[in-house]
């Protein structure tokens, strides 16, 4: 690509980003390699007005796709690892000898598994709450569901910079809150994630700008508690 083509492509890309809207097309090429971008599983506007369609489309089609592409670009150097499930890859980063590759895989395998989990964690819930064994475990740990909401909100609000807030299950079945920087995650620590919230600015900036607390407040309206219940029921 010569300089003129590069500038034309950049201009086309930024033009598309400015126009936005429902006709916005994915700019990131479809991934090819051992890992692929999973379908979102619902419409980009399914979480409106809490999470807007344009954010969902860019977040899935560009950000998540980029993590998958970047992962595919380096994991082929490690054919044994490329065959592993993604949660095993992020739990075995210490087996990658090259520090630069280890860091690339940490960030991009982390980005892939985190977003794959996050999309499934979202569904408009109309004020729904957890139930059954998960609700009991929440009440054991936090006393009340309201207190859990307060504590999770506090954790998500105080992630410094880019990162994630999680509700996780420990090996003994108890619950904890966890904050992770960048694309780090509970699988890296041998914990089972139950609920995830992406608090990178790309997850909310188009609609909420710098108002992360408003995005976190909206999150309570789009938690897929059925999915969270299923994660809690899994063996640690």
Residue 223: helix, strand or coil by DSSP?
Answer: strand
Question: Shortest Cβ distance from residue 49 to Mn ion (Å)?
Answer: 20
- Per rule CB under 5 A, count of chain residues that contact Mn ion: 2
Shortest gap between Cβ of 199 and Mn ion (angstroms)? 9
Using the minimum distance from each CB to Mn ion, give the nearer residue, 200 or 232: 200
What are the start-end ranges of the E strands in 36-162? none
Instruction: Show the binding pattern over residues 163-202: x = contacts Mn ion (CB under 5 A), - = does not.
Output: -----------------------------------x-x--
CB of 180 to Mn ion, least distance (A): 12
Residue 178 bridge partners (DSSP): 166
Q: Which of residues 200-229 bind Mn ion (CB under 5 A)?
A: 200
Q: How far is the CB of 135 from Mn ion (least distance, A)?
A: 28
User: Could you give phi then psi for residue 159, rounded to 5 degrees?
Assistant: -65, 120
**Of 148 and 200, which CB lies nearer to Mn ion in the complex structure?**
200
Q: Determine the residue with CB nearest Mn ion.
A: 198
Q: DSSP characters for 144-205?
A: SHHHHHHHHHHHHHT--SSEEEEEEE-TTS-EEEEEEETT--GGGGT-EEEEEEE-SGGGTH
Spatial distance between the Cα atoms of 85 and 77, rounded to a whole number of angstroms: 16
The residues binding Mn ion (CB under 5 A) are: 198, 200
């Amino acid at each position: 690509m010569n300089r003129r083509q590069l500038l034309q492509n950049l201009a086309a890309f930024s033009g598309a980003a400015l126009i936005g809207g429902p006709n916005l097309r994915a700019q990131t090429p479809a991934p090819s390699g051992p890992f692929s971008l999973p379908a979102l599983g619902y419409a980009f506007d399914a979480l409106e007005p809490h999470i807007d369609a344009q954010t969902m489309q860019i977040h899935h089609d560009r950000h998540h796709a980029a993590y998958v592409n970047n992962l595919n670009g380096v994991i082929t150097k490690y054919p044994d690892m490329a065959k592993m499930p993604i949660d095993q890859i992020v739990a075995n980063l210490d087996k990658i000898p090259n520090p630069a590759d280890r860091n690339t895989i940490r960030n991009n395998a982390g980005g892939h598994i985190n977003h794959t989990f996050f999309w499934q964690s979202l569904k408009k819930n109309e004020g729904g709450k957890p139930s059954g064994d998960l609700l009991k475990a929440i009440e054991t740990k936090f006393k009340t569901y309201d207190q859990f909401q307060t504590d999770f909100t506090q954790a998500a609000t105080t992630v410094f910079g880019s990162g994630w807030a999680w509700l996780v299950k420990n090996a003994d079945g108890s619950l904890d809150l966890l904050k992770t920087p960048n694309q780090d995650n509970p699988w890296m620590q041998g914990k089972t994630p139950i609920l995830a919230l992406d608090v990178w600015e790309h997850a909310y900036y188009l609609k909420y700008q710098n108002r992360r607390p408003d995005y976190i407040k909206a999150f309570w309206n789009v938690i897929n508690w059925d999915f969270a219940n299923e994660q809690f029921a899994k063996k640690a």
